[in-house]
């Protein structure tokens, strides 16, 4: 006959409870719950004390404890204008497919394209992303609504970097982009030298002067024309909103109004619209044309000779500078520590990279 063994008096091992961790760490159970579920609002020293207690009580297995101790990646948002500006689109797309480049910095980046030239929509997007991001990079519109949103984020401890176009009198932590006044002067110098000593009219097409970058490029262009090329007269500035079709129509109107037009500086994007109008009028090899942003379409225009030069910057370096600034702030360093100034490049057909 089989006899059941006597029950043992030894207690069965029991898993530690939240209250045990709280007692060991000297905190409330609510604090323990926040730490174990990775909710914000607990000081770093307290987090480490709670996790240490959880590990000593075997509440978390080794792998889970390691994961809990690992710092959360920085959540970064990049806000860019929607539209047909291919350089801006390329910059935004690069955020997605370059995640492996940001991995060593322990960051996660995402892009949102905002309705172009709408400051209230941009301000709303800044506030929306400020609730779920540790830092925001934005191509800013020069407008009080945008400035106020950036100020609110700064007060909440969410740093903002301006990209491509800066925002005056704002608490943004840094600007990453060209010296736009110098870029405008460069364009004016190139057009003046290409046209030569003859008298001619030149025109400008901007995306929108709501962008400080475009306003500064215009100012630089006008200054260098006035200083160095008195034989050239500027026939005004038109806005094409970085849209290829609008740029096409604006260029056709300029050519109809000024048949002797000698040069065009496209301050913003969508240079393909300008080139299409020049080609249709048979003026693509006669009008000096300077644009911005090296992209597949401007590269093709340089090769066929309808575009004479492109002023550009590296999109990858631009994004990497943003990541470095945010990680500098996270790690307690100066914001611009190890960040190089943005370099302007002038690309011709003969030096295409």
Other beta carbons within 10 angstroms of residue 162's beta carbon come to 24
Question: Chunked in runs of 10, what are the mean pLDDT values of the chain (353 residues)?
Answer: 46 66 88 80 79 78 55 88 90 86 85 91 96 95 97 96 96 97 98 96 94 96 97 93 94 94 96 96 96 96 97 94 94 91 95 94
8 A C-beta contact, residue 233 and residue 242: no
> What sign for the dihedral angle of Cα 84, 114, 204, 225?
negative
Give strand pairing partners of 294: none
pLDDT at 16: 77
pLDDT at 242: 92
Under DSSP, the state recorded for 83 is S
pLDDT at 64: 57
> What tokens were used for 150?
């950036």
Question: Rounded CA gap, 142 and 117, in Å?
Answer: 10
Candidates 182, 187, 180, 181; CA nearest to 229 is 187
pLDDT at 13: 45
pLDDT at 46: 83
Specify the length of the chain in residues: 353
Range list of β-strands (E), 84-164: 107-114, 135-138, 160-163
Q: What is the pTM of this model?
A: 0.80
pLDDT at 288: 98
Residue 328 phi/psi, 5° resolution? -60, -45
Question: Rounded CA gap, 322 and 107, in Å?
Answer: 11
Give the burial class of 14: count Cβ atoms within 10 A of its Cβ; 0-12 exposed, 13-18 middle, 19 or more buried: exposed
Under DSSP, the state recorded for 198 is S
Other beta carbons within 10 angstroms of residue 41's beta carbon come to 7
Candidates 202, 315, 306; CA nearest to 263 is 202
pLDDT at 279: 97
């Amino acid at each position: 006959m089989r006899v059941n063994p006597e029950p043992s008096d030894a207690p069965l091992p029991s898993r530690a409870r939240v209250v045990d961790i709280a007692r060991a760490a000297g905190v409330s159970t609510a604090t323990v719950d926040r730490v174990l579920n990775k909710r914000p609002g607990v000081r770093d020293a307290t987090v480490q004390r709670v996790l240490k207690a959880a590990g000593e009580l075997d509440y978390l297995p080794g792998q889970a404890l390691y994961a809990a101790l690992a710092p959360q990646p920085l959540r970064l948002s990049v806000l860019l204008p929607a539209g047909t500006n291919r350089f801006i689109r390329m910059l935004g797309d690069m955020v997605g497919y370059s995640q492996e480049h940001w991995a060593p910095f322990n960051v996660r980046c995402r892009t949102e394209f905002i309705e172009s030239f709408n400051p209230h929509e941009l301000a709303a997007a800044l506030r929306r992303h400020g609730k779920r991001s540790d830092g925001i990079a934005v191509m800013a519109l020069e407008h009080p609504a945008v400035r106020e949103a950036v100020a609110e984020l700064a007060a909440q401890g969410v740093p903002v970097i301006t990209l491509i176009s800066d925002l005056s009198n704002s608490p943004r932590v840094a600007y990453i982009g060209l010296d736009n006044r110098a870029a405008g002067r460069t364009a004016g110098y190139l057009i003046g030298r290409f046209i030569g000593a003859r008298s001619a009219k030149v025109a400008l097409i901007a995306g929108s002067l709501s962008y400080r970058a475009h306003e500064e490029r215009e100012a630089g262009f006008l200054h260098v024309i006035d200083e160095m090329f008195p034989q050239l007269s500027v026939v005004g500035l038109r806005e094409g909103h970085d849209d290829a079709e609008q740029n096409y129509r604006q260029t056709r109107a300029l050519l109809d109004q000024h048949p002797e037009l000698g040069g065009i500086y496209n301050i913003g994007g969508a240079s393909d619209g300008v080139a299409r109008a020049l080609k249709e009028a048979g003026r693509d090899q006669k009008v000096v044309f300077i644009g911005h942003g090296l992209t597949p379409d401007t590269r093709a225009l340089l090769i066929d000779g309808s575009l004479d030069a492109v002023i550009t910057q590296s999109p990858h370096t631009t994004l990497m500078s943003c990541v470095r600034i945010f990680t500098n702030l996270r790690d307690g360093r100066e914001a611009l520590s190890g960040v190089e100034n943005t370099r302007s490049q002038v690309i011709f057909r003969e030096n295409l990279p």
